[in-house]
Chain A
Amino acid sequence: DTGVSQNPRHKITKRGQNVTFRCDPISEHNRLYWYRQTLGQGPEFLTYFQNEAQLEKSRLLSDRFSAERPKGSFSTLEIQRTEQGDSAMYLCASSLDRDGADTQYFGPGTRLTVL
């Protein structure tokens, strides 16, 4: 297992277009997280799944954002009608719940540029 993977690694799109990112977690991990990171800032939490259930969503996650984890394995993050302010690095992380002492393992990220 090579760790958390994310595809694509880079995405350039025009304002108003829809984009979808994929995250494949470490295989036995039941928790999956999405974060967004803009230049000069630390990652900001977007949403979290326990198996296929989306349990927490940040208020940063506007109606244009939707995330799914249909079979409790990979996850997708879709942004509809992209705006220039959506340009950022989107990070995925996964963890295995062990009595609350889980460690989040991060993927390499998908860098989104909205023109």
Chain B
Amino acid sequence: AQRVTQPEKLLSVFKGAPVELKCNYSYSGSPELFWYVQYSRQRLQLLLRHISRESIKGFTADLNKGETSFHLKKPFAQEEDSAMYYCALSPLGSARQLTFGSGTQLTVLP
């Protein structure tokens, strides 16, 4: 069975401070990991996926298979980053059934 754990339900940082949203997973095969974001009153949308190895809106995430983690990081948080962030997993090469974590509400304070 696959499982995604986001240990922090709420996270607050000040504008300009670094931010790290934690994500740990358990899966017996090769996973593909994603971060989805939901801004206030908007629909869920893909932020980034580990296969793309790209930085979106200044966010990066590195898949650490040894620690089974996929933490989301940004060196300087902005107020517009305030949102709900979900980590998700699917079998590699088959982004059909996404398994989501319970989410972390990030608040960036002025």
Contact = CB atoms under 8 A, between A and B. Distances in A.
**A and B assemble together:** yes
B43 A45 contact: no
A25 interface: no
A72 B43 CA distance: 23
B44 interface: yes
Nearest to A44: B100
Interface of B: 4, 9, 43-46, 49, 51, 86, 88, 93-103
A93 B41 CA distance: 17
A100 B100 contact: no
17 contacts: A31-B96, A33-B98, A41-B103, A42-B103, A43-B44, A43-B98, A43-B100, A45-B97, A95-B95, A100-B94, A100-B95, A101-B51, A103-B46, A103-B49, A105-B46, A107-B43, A109-B43
